[in-house]
A and B are shown apart, each in its own frame.
Chain A
Amino acid sequence: MAFYRPPAWQKPVALAALAAACALPFVLEAIDQAFYIGFATRLLIFALAATSLNLVLGFGGMVSLGHAAFFGIGAYVAAICQQAGINEALLVFPAAMAVAGLFALAVGAVSLRTRGVYFIMITLAFAQMVYYLFISARAWGGDDGLPLAGRMTLAGFSLAGDNSLFFASLAALTATMLLFGRLAQARFGRTLQAIRENETRMEALGYPVFRYRLAAFALGGAVAGLAGALLANLTGLASPNLLQWMQSGTLLVMVIIGGVGSLWGGVVGAALLLGLEEVLAGLTEHWHIVLGLLLLGVVLFAPRGIATLFGRRDG
């Protein structure tokens, strides 16, 4: 392992991608395909959720199978806030992050005392607990989930337009990528990566290993909560399906396909998975088979993920 260092191509490529993303809604409108703005927003939101898992899994080395819990909690916090009459995203989004982050802190405080397969199982168990809690909570819609009456406002501006929600999601993803990219090179990120490589050695250097892991786990949970709140705005529903272990699995697959521990892994994985689903589902109803083959191909030929195929590996 070497510490994460941004490859030379990253800055220009990132800026170009950002510029292209900013132009996208207008291009889609110009060619009468505005329908795809919603899809692009969905992609950004899942990229954000997968990126948050990649902090935990890729940089922290913690294989969590319960990440969807934080994602789903973010969505429910948004819906519940709206039900309570709070419709301002500047209040709701931080609240979603805080609740998801605090819950992650509690889950992490227990789970991070275990290792390996026990950690996977205990994070899964916590997430399923949350899932069953929400499907049995009648006040919050039970099985059906909790619908939103409409989209929220952000600093007074309505997110009702597809473009505004797209740009809000893009801003959230950009800020997260910027933070994680810096974090990975800063003291915290290096500590985290070194712990991933050799926990005992770090302890013998005087590091309270547990605390750093827990902080990363909670930060990942908070960002997943933000993604959930954005998704609730997009789909107009906080669904219990978001909390289910299948969802955690999907996020894991995104990160693994994209590149575990590579800054762009979550983005690339989410784009690839959702993009393929969109294209293939139109052609055949057996698109999952193609997806399976892709996953197989990645594990066999690019075990560090698609993102690492470009330029020098940056894990």
Chain B
Amino acid sequence: MADALLEVRGLSRRFAAVDALKEVNFSVAAGEVHALIGPNGAGKTTFIHHVSGALRPDSGSVHFAGHDVTGLSMHERVRAGMARSYQITNVFSGLCARDNVALAVQGRADAGSSFRFWRPVAAETTLLAEADSWLAQVGLADKADTVAGSLSHGEQRALELAMALATKPQLLLLDEPMAGTGPEESARMVELIENLARHVTILLVEHDMDAVFRLADRISVLVNGRMICTGTPDEVRSDPGVRRAYLGDHL
């Protein structure tokens, strides 16, 4: 695909004797919400780790915005415009929500160097105001001063999202943003992601099928380390291979 923002070519990775990923080809077009689904242990998280740069493949390559990023480290990929949220909530629980997001803003290249030794961040009003605006985007405006550890689970998921957004990514990797949230919080999260999708390309890994089929423009299915199908929600729903391998009667 010519206008692919993310393209993965022939990616393989073995752990001991297990093919965690086998010759995976995959692409996310600019502007779409692309969902990655698959049964537990299919290799989804391993795949995300390879895209984000936490792991390196045995063979194959990852291309982002027209550049080969296979050799780049995680922080270099983030700087190139790829942000991720974590499956297990991974915020700084001792810091207030604002400080969490301020860290994300501060890490961005256009926000200035972090080699500043004298001026307290508390006096950096632009930085903190920007952090507040990201919090507002995910509906946490009134929780800015709350310590992240005492936010509800759903609020922590939203905070995680605000931190990813604050890096101003072109591509957002969301690793099970709905994990562990109740139905009400899930509904809010779906709405939130729907809104975000207007501004940013999203690669969504998710177990909640209702959310996936509501949000995704395209869906790819990973089974036993192999990408067995990619298509629109309707195509995936009716694909006999997918039905057999994974979805069963759920659809």
Contact = CB atoms under 8 A, between A and B. Distances in A.
Contacts of A198: 90, 92
Given A186-B120, A186-B121, A205-B167, A2 B94 contact: yes
Contacts of B108: 206
Interface stretch (B13-21, B111-119, B130-138): B111-119
A209 to B, nearest CB: 7
Contact of B103 (A185, A205, A209, A215): A205
B95 interface: yes
Contacts of A1: 92, 94-95
Contacts of A206: 75, 78-79, 107-109, 167
A201 B164 CA distance: 11
Contacts of B90: 198, 200-201, 204
A203 interface: yes
B218 interface: no
Interface in A1-45: 1-3
A130 B108 CA distance: 39
Interface in B62-107: 73-76, 78-79, 83-84, 86, 90-92, 94-95, 99, 103-104, 106-107
Contacts of A197: 92, 94
Contacts of B203: none
B117 A179 contact: yes
A286 interface: no
B52 interface: yes
B251 interface: no
A203 B120 contact: no
Interface in B5-52: 52
Contacts of B91: 201
B95 A2 contact: yes
A301 interface: no
Contacts of A253: none
Interface in A201-234: 201-209, 212, 215
B163 interface: yes
Given A202-B107, A207-B107, A187 B75 contact: no
B95 A207 contact: no
A182 B107 contact: no
A215 B92 contact: no
A203 B74 contact: yes
B2 interface: no
Which range holds the interface residue count of chain B? Answer: 35 or more
Contacts of B167: 205-206
Contacts of B1: none
A198 B147 CA distance: 16
A205 B92 contact: no
A313 B126 CA distance: 29
A197 B114 CA distance: 17
A191 interface: yes
A204 B78 contact: yes
A182 B99 contact: no
Contact of A190 (B73, B113, B121): B121
B129 to A, nearest CB: 16
Interface in B154-175: 163, 167
B50 to A, nearest CB: 14
Contacts of B84: 204
Interface in A178-194: 179, 182-183, 185-191, 194
Given A179-B117, A185-B120, A185-B121, A208 B94 contact: no
Nearest to B111: A187
A95 B147 CA distance: 44
Nearest to B99: A3
Interface string A101-139: 000000000000000000000000000000000000000
A185 B116 contact: no
A313 B82 CA distance: 37
A179 B115 CA distance: 14
A157 B122 CA distance: 41
Nearest to A190: B121
Contacts of A191: 103, 106, 114
Contacts of A201: 86, 90-92
A205 B76 CA distance: 10
A186 B102 CA distance: 12
Interface string A148-190: 0000000000000000000000000000000100110111111
Nearest to A179: B117
Contacts of B75: 203-209
Nearest first, the 5 A-B pairs at minimum CB distance are: A206-B78, A1-B94, A185-B120, A205-B107, A187-B116
Interface of B: 52, 54, 73-76, 78-79, 83-84, 86, 90-92, 94-95, 99, 103-104, 106-109, 112-122, 124, 147, 163, 167
20 contacts: A1-B94, A3-B95, A182-B120, A185-B122, A186-B118, A186-B121, A190-B103, A191-B114, A198-B92, A201-B91, A201-B92, A203-B73, A203-B75, A203-B78, A204-B75, A205-B107, A205-B163, A206-B109, A208-B76, A212-B114
